[in-house]
Structure 1
């Protein structure tokens, strides 16, 4: 009951933090998608470049988030900007990898048929290969979004926006009566956002993917 009373008393604040959390996540994933899909398209048929891009994106994912945030303080300061930059870095690998895998799995016979019809490389990529690879690419974007949602919460460490502020506030006053409520409210908010984002991607997949390749 105490937790539900807490939610009722701080509903507006929690909703504001949740909106901030969702907006920062969406912005970072959108930027990562533009960069990641672009890199995947540019390198999927070039083995050396492909390996280099995947390796660099993999290295980004191995850097502890709190350490990366700490490094960014001296360069980008505190707040939203370093959080977004870090999220873009962490979101790249699933998007780049899935773009490469999706494009490489397109049936060569389909590509050859398009070439026989007089389509150039760019036309084939945009009109044939990319639509066929889209379900795999979208899966990578979906994974990156869920990863980013969790990392945004840690952005409160450098005064970033989102539900992490309540989580860190609760942890910093763990002996106070509302400490557990603060942490639980923030964690449940992140979980709810993850469910909503996942439902969005299910709908997006249905809307943007041809029935023949679902």
Structure 2
């Protein structure tokens, strides 16, 4: 859970930052959407295997893979959310004398936040499973139970080990999703839902 949360925070910063840089350009928006769509087609197990040579075993390849997959839905949702802000609201803010930075942080980002948070929730659910697979490169997590049980399949307690790891990953994913829903309620302006 700690690994996934830390990678989600890094991914949210990368995804929203990249979306902020490219959502005003149609070509860059299209490129961001295409990269996120193509990136999700890469099997996580294959990417983990490819990263063993340059990064070795341990936490680093796990962090790189989880961050890579987590940033894709966040980037796509951030681009969609920021592009979907009503241009008349931006013009009104500009008419009030707000700077480009102030408009982004006080108008566009708060209005796009529910859509961005949906991307964070999707990323959290997806990367919880990928974090379990990262145990293949000796990364931390409950995937150790799953791989240990699979390697002893047919042996004593092998099925119990796999079920324990799988159920624990699902429970943690549900808990993390609940925390993100709560965070969304606390950080989203009530005026947006009115």
TM-score (norm 2): 0.96
User: Are the aligned partners of 2:85 and 2:111 in contact in 1 as well (CA < 8 Å)?
Assistant: yes
Aligned to 1:134: 113
Matches of 2:27 and 2:68, distance apart in 1: 21
Q: Are 1:47 and 2:21 counterparts?
A: no
Matches of 2:117 and 2:162, distance apart in 1: 31
Q: Are 1:111 and 2:111 counterparts?
A: no
User: Are the aligned partners of 1:61 and 1:89 in contact in 2 as well (CA < 8 Å)?
Assistant: no
Offset at 1:80? 0.9
User: Are the aligned partners of 1:138 and 1:205 in contact in 2 as well (CA < 8 Å)?
Assistant: yes
Aligned to 2:157: 178
Instruction: Determine which of 17, 27, 52 is the counterpart of 2:6.
Output: 27
Provide structure 1 residue ranges, at least 5 long, that are not aligned to the other structure. Answer: 1-21
| 1:128-171 Cα distance to aligned partner (Å, 9 max, x none) | 11011101100001100110000011111111110000001001
Aligned to 2:186: 207
Aligned to 1:4: none
Provide structure 2 residue ranges, at least 5 long, that are not aligned to the other structure. Answer: none
Instruction: Determine which of 136, 139, 150 is the counterpart of 2:129.
Output: 150
Offset at 1:59? 2.4
User: Are the aligned partners of 2:77 and 2:118 in contact in 1 as well (CA < 8 Å)?
Assistant: yes
Offset at 1:58? 2.5
Structure 1 residue ranges, 4+ long, deviating more than 4 angstroms after superposition: none
- Aligned-residue CA RMSD (Å): 1.0
Matches of 1:47 and 1:84, distance apart in 2: 31
Q: Are 1:191 and 2:170 counterparts?
A: yes
Q: Are 1:61 and 2:40 counterparts?
A: yes
Offset at 1:60? 2.1
Offset at 1:175? 1.2
Offset at 1:122? 1.4
User: Are the aligned partners of 2:32 and 2:76 in contact in 1 as well (CA < 8 Å)?
Assistant: no
> What SS does the corresponding residue of 2:40 show, helix, strand or coil?
helix
TM-score (norm 1): 0.87
Offset at 1:127? 0.8
User: Are the aligned partners of 2:93 and 2:103 in contact in 1 as well (CA < 8 Å)?
Assistant: yes
Matches of 2:75 and 2:187, distance apart in 1: 19
